[in-house]
Structures are given as structure tokens and as C-alpha cells.
Structure 1
């Protein structure tokens, strides 16, 4: 099992991409006290490979300027029933524990196939994480999606009444209420209709309004994903699309939102395909995490975000 060495490297925010010594994707921020943790997939595609995401890495900061790299926190095969693919994840704190929801490839020898959602758990944000269930929380056969990778990109929200909800999906957006044990469902899986939804949902709340950011695709604008968002008066909906947060990522047809409020400011994490590391140029399977400030107008609408090289260094 991957462990979490502390203080392997430290670096200063020098603008975007934020992480520059390796390719990273699918950023997922978590705020615990005065520290923001950032979980990412490690892109290691070579040559013409589309994806080869081998492990999940953790970073942290107390000021968005100085960052610490904590190393890998888990690998797909730490789930005994999984074979590969450290796809998008989110760590969620509840009841003093840290629940790691993520998408992996189910090992066909275990009696299933396609993408599945696993759950790991730890007693602190850096692990060690262990499989909390011993099997998938959601497997490909549990939903009627159009392909074998429709059960990906989990995001979790715990409401003020203590009830927790899991959202996920590719092509179709699914949600279900989690039971108190955080590894089973307290209600049925249901589908949410959102215009142009592709993947990468991310749920948060601000001033009594619930927001659902997601990777969208409007074919009239081209074949690349953009980040759109919807709002609702309740975590269970109804969800209404409000508009686009930001356009497509440079040199990558995928984009993935991760949003957090930290020390009074809101931040949007995403990835681009502009970073060259060694002899490996950026691109589809070699992406790089970036971050911008996220702002709202007086009515609570998210203002459009320009993707910049300066990132959070800009005022």
C-alpha cells in the first residue's frame, strides 16, 4: 500500500501550471483547518498513449504560495478488486475520518468490467488510506450508461442535516444518498439531466445556494470540454444550468473542476496540457494542474474565469 512521506519537496507558486515537475490531472482540493490539501492523479503517458494515470498524489499549502509535496497516497491496485487507472477522486472529511472516493478499472477476474467507484478511508488527510469496503461502491453494471466508463468522477457533499450524497458520471450524471457508514447507499441511484453534461461534477454550497460545476461540451463551440455550472435551492435539486465558468483547456480536450473556499477566498482548480517535463510534452495524457481565483456577483452568479499564466499571483 502506498504511504505518505512528508516533506519530500517544497516549492513556491510561480503561476500556472501550479505543479511543474510532473504531469498531474483531475485536481481535488480539501480544506482542513488552516491547510488546503490538493489531491491529483499522476499522468505518466508516454508517446501516443492516451492515458496512463498510475497513482494519486497529495500536496498541501497554508497560504496558496508555498506548497509541500507529500508523495503518493494510494494506487489503484490497493483496491484488491481493481487493476489500473487512478482516475479522478475526491477526499471528504466526515466524523473525524477522511473518505477517499475514486474511479478505477475493475479487474475482470473479479467478475465485472469497466470503470467502478471505490472508497478508501484514513484517519488523517495523508493516509495511509485503505479500502473501506472490499468491493466497488458502484460498478459498471449498476447503471445503464452508454459505455463502460460512465461510472467515474465521484464528488461528495454532506449537508447541514448530516446526510451525505455522492454524485458521479460520464455522459449521464448520477446521484445517490450515502448511508451513515459512507460505503453504502441509503436510497436509489437516480439520474440528473443537465444540458451538455459530460463528466467531472463538483458540488459545493455558498450562502444557501448549491452549485454543481461540471465538464460540459457544446458541439457548436467545438469538440473540447468546458466548465459549466448549475445551481439548486437544495442538494437534491432541482438543478438549473446557469452558464459557463471557463472555456476549454489549452492543449487538452478534457478539463476537470475542483472548487474550494480557503481563508475567505474561492479557488478554481483545473488542468491544462501545456507543460513539458523532460522529453514528454504536455497533451491529452500529460496534463498539468492550474488554479485561478473564483468570484461571484451580488446575485451569486459565478463570474467567468480567464485561464492565465499568472494564476492566483494576479491581483
Structure 2
């Protein structure tokens, strides 16, 4: 069952706390998938159990598709829903998520799949794609956070992720395994929240920078680097210590999705997804995004 959510301006969703947006475009609509902050009253900590989906044809009127995926939908997970990434690939929809593994210490990355962007989604693999014992820095308990996936211009899929250290690897053609070594990616100030996108012949790698987190970015002509650091894209989001970007072109305009703590009683553990316009300069670099309460104009 769906409900219409029609706020004016930012945040775009106001009836629950949302975080860590990932966005795709499909058949004239933009689908925004978010984490869901739900700490009990009096608790100031991260409590995230599921991911939600919202869609819009005009970026003003949002339809709520509910919680399409829970961390415990992966039978090998003990819970905890961290940042995620959705892509369309070979006419199916793949949802890469970070959760806590039930039997292997640390965090892990899993994959759910569906035939429609609004689901239903189910575990695509039956086990984790990436676990703590696979990475170079096994002492980093939260290393396997915040996956981002992109298909390069040659049709090869790549995944980037990490916390404190950014990792990258090529995926198999079916997306269900790592196809090659896991590499460290040197990025100034990398904290977490990696996001890949491609535009104007360039690959862009945006990420949470420092702490409290700004968003910085690097550019490369190749999806596997080398990456050239380009600076800050988005400033600290008000009273929220984290940020996780998502960039997409939709109906001829580029948009920057992020989260802040702007809702009543909001903050670092009760976050809210927002969207503002994104612009490129002639050399391919991106103009620093100004966070606004007005948000974006209606897409006709």
C-alpha cells in the first residue's frame, strides 16, 4: 500500500526520518531509496533496521512505497541497515546493502534483487558478497560500509565501499561475486559514504570527507582510477555529523541528493533526505552544491 507524500522544499520526506539516499530513473520516474532512522525516544544513537523507497515524476510529489527491504531479510545477517546502492542491470534491479554479519565478525555487503524498482526484493545470493575476512584491513570492524556500484562504459561492473579506508573491486558479470583483487583507493580525508557516477566522459567519486562530514570528490577518466582529488562539493549538513551523496541526471537536469538533520527533533541519528540542483563547469568539475530549504523546482 502506498501513500502520497507532498512536502514543499527540503527535506523531501517529512513523515519519517530518512538517510543515505540512492537514486535511479525508470520509465519517467525517479526512485529514491533511503535508510530509516528510528531510535526510541531518549536514545541518541544509530538505530536502523530497514530501507524505504519513494518515487516521483516531478521531484515534488513523492509516493511512499514503504519498507521494501529489511536487514534481517538476509538470513545470514543479524541486522543493522547501513547505507546502500540500487542499480538497474540487465532489466533487473540490484540493491547492494551493508549489514552486520551473524557469524563472521564485522560488517558485510549483501545483494537483493527485484524485477521492478518498487520490488519485491529478495536476497540474490544467499550469502554475503563481501565479508570482513576478505578485505586487506581486517582490524577495521566497520570497513564494509556504504557500497556504491557503477557499470563502466565498457559494460564492466565495479563496486567501491569503505569506512576510514576506501576499497574498490571489479564484480563478476552476474554481480554476485568479486572478480579480481580488492584494492585500496587513496583519497584525501576519506571517511565513508562513497558514491560513483559518470557524466561528460568523466567518472566521479564523491564521499564523506573528514568529521563532521563534508562531501568531497575526485575525478578520473577510468573507473579504476587514478583519481584526482577536486575539493569540497557540499558543506557540513547543519546539525548532522554525516552525509552520503547521490548524483543523478533526471529529465535533463542533474541533482544532488543528501541528508541533514532538519526535521523537528532531527540530528545525526534522526536524519532527512534532501535534494538540490547540481551543475558542472566546462572542464567537468562540479560546482559546489548550496543546500537550500526551497529545494528544486517541479520537473514538468
Cα distance in 2, alignment partners of residues 65 and 23 from structure 1: 18
Question: What secondary structure, in the 3-state scheme, does the structure 2 residue paired with 1:70 have?
Answer: strand
State the match for 1:297 in structure 2: 281
Task: Report the CA distance between 1:314 and its aligned residue.
Answer: 9.5
* C-alpha distance after superposition, 1:234-267 (max 9, x if no partner): 1111101101111101111101101111001111
1:36-47 matches, cutoff 5 A: 36-46=30-40, 47=42
Cα distance in 2, alignment partners of residues 294 and 115 from structure 1: 32
State the match for 1:51 in structure 2: 46
Q: Select 1:65's aligned residue among 54, 60, 68.
A: 60
| Structure 1: segments with no counterpart, 5+ residues | 218-222
1:279-298 matches, cutoff 5 A: 281-298=265-282
Q: Are 1:274 and 2:262 counterparts?
A: yes
Normalising by structure 2, report the TM-score.
0.96
Question: What secondary structure, in the 3-state scheme, does the structure 2 residue paired with 1:77 have?
Answer: helix
State the match for 2:213 in structure 1: 225
Contact 1:13–1:64, Cα closer than 8 Å, also in 2: no
Q: Are 1:265 and 2:259 counterparts?
A: no
| Structure 2: segments with no counterpart, 5+ residues | none
Normalising by structure 1, report the TM-score.
0.91
Task: Report the CA distance between 1:162 and its aligned residue.
Answer: 1.4
Q: Are 1:247 and 2:235 counterparts?
A: yes
State the match for 2:98 in structure 1: 103
State the match for 2:26 in structure 1: 32
State the match for 2:124 in structure 1: 132
Task: After superposing the two structures, state which structure 1 stretch, 199-208 or 42-51, moved more.
Answer: 42-51
Contact 2:4–2:62, Cα closer than 8 Å, also in 1: yes
Cα root mean square deviation, aligned = 1.4
The number of residue pairs the alignment matches comes to 297
Task: Report the CA distance between 1:49 and its aligned residue.
Answer: 3.3
State the match for 2:5 in structure 1: 11
Task: Report the CA distance between 1:215 and its aligned residue.
Answer: 0.6
Cα distance in 1, alignment partners of residues 10 and 58 from structure 2: 16
Q: Select 2:183's aligned residue among 167, 174, 190.
A: 190
State the match for 2:222 in structure 1: 234
State the match for 2:140 in structure 1: 147
Q: Select 1:200's aligned residue among 177, 190, 193.
A: 193
